[in-house]
Amino acid sequence: MPYDESVPPTPRRRPPRAAAALAAVSLCLTAAGCGAASDDGLSGRSADPRPGGDGTSAAAPSGPAPDRTSAAPSSPSSKAADRPGAGPLSGKTVVIDPGHNPDNRLHTQEINRQVDVGTGRKECDTTGTSTDAGYAEARFTLDVSHRVRDLLRAQGAKVVLTQDGDRPYGPCVDERARIGNAAGADAVVSVHADGSAVGNRGFHVILPGLVRAGKADTSKIVEPSRDLGARIAGLFLRATGSAPSNYIGDKTGLDVRKDLGGLNLSTVPKVFIECGNMRDPKDAVLLTSAGWRQKAAQGIADGISGYLKG
């Protein structure tokens, strides 16, 4: 499915917060303090990008296995995870949306059902991708989301997960948007990993484009979402040392799309992050490392925290 080729708003249209955040990301790409790119370098842009976000399926024969030497942080029940504490983010609500669902593969009829995404109709959800060794994107997204949740709760935020492996499939992409809206979230981040061609490496953050169609109206969230996404991109780079994508988005790792129901139907600031390419062997080594996943979670949490603190 083709990805949206619309370009981000020009700098003069950005409010001061968003412009400052984007400037910080650009500086981060050249400043030693923001962390270096992977030591093997990155290839040029590919003509065969796979769009991320609402996702696609991928088969998996062989490759690096997940690093199981360090377990993910303990995962309390979703109700317990909702309880905020004291800290600098006290009073803030964050929704973390772990992409896909480990059991989607068992419910293909249900997830193939078409839903309204504002600019058309798409599948309710997909199975997501995996590494060649079979480490599923849905497992990766839950692990990273748990880590982000724990980091934000330690700062006093109320954190809601759209799913915690506690439902048979989904939720559908339109329901994922409604969960963030109903929570009155100050920020929503959907966690993913891409499934593109070998040689395509790095992370990218997907921002909502300007959409006014049917149930979708992103006019009020485009700019704050850009600010949120720019902060996450810069701090993800600093925490992980991974470079922005060499095949999707701009040099700071930002991409704009209008075809994702999770963004189109959101009424609160929301972005997607594709943390890397599961089908590239070098990125797969990172994505299957528990230590790297903790760094990824730290970068995402730092970006959210910086956005919420202004």
Is 9 within a domain? no
Q: Quote the mean pLDDT of the chain.
A: 82
Instruction: Check whether 150 has a pLDDT greater than 50.
Output: yes
* Residue 20, domain member (yes or no): no
Q: Is 301 inside any structural domain?
A: yes
Q: Which residues pair with 116 in a beta bridge?
A: 121
**Residue 160 belongs to a domain:** yes
Percent residues over pLDDT 70 in the chain: 73
Report the catalytic residues. 274
Q: In this model, does residue 39 exceed pLDDT 70? A: no
Q: Is the pTM of this model over 0.85?
A: no
Q: Are 205 and 232 in contact (CB under 8 A)?
A: yes
Model confidence band, residue 10 (pLDDT cutoffs 50, 70, 90): very low
Q: Which residues contact 264 (CB under 8 A, 6 or more apart)?
A: 117, 118, 119, 177, 208, 211, 213, 216, 218, 258
DSSP 33-68: GG-PPPTT------S-PPP-TT---------PPP--
Structural domain range at position 212: 90-309
Identify the pLDDT of residue 64: 55
Q: Which residues contact 49 (CB under 8 A, 6 or more apart)?
A: 3, 196, 197, 200, 247, 248
pLDDT in tens, 198-222: 999 999 999 999 999 989 999 999 9
pLDDT at 309: 96
Q: What does the pLDDT average to over 179-189? A: 98
What pLDDT, in 10s, does the model give residues 11-32? 334 444 555 555 555 544 444 3
- Number of Cβ within 10 Å of residue 23's Cβ equals 14
Percent share of the chain, pLDDT over 90 = 71
What per-residue confidence (pLDDT) applies to 13?
40
Measured between alpha carbons, how far is 65 from 57 in angstroms, rounded to an integer?
Answer: 19
Residue 76 covered by a domain: no
Least-confidence region, from 14-28, 68-82, 143-157: 68-82
Higher pLDDT, 104 or 39: 104
> Does residue 245 have a pLDDT over 70?
yes
- Number of domains making up the chain: 1
pLDDT of residue 65: 55
Residue 203's nearest CA partner among 268, 97, 265, 287 is 287
CATH number of domain containing 228: 3.40.630.40
Residue 289 lies in a domain: yes
Residue 152: pLDDT band with limits 50, 70, 90? very high
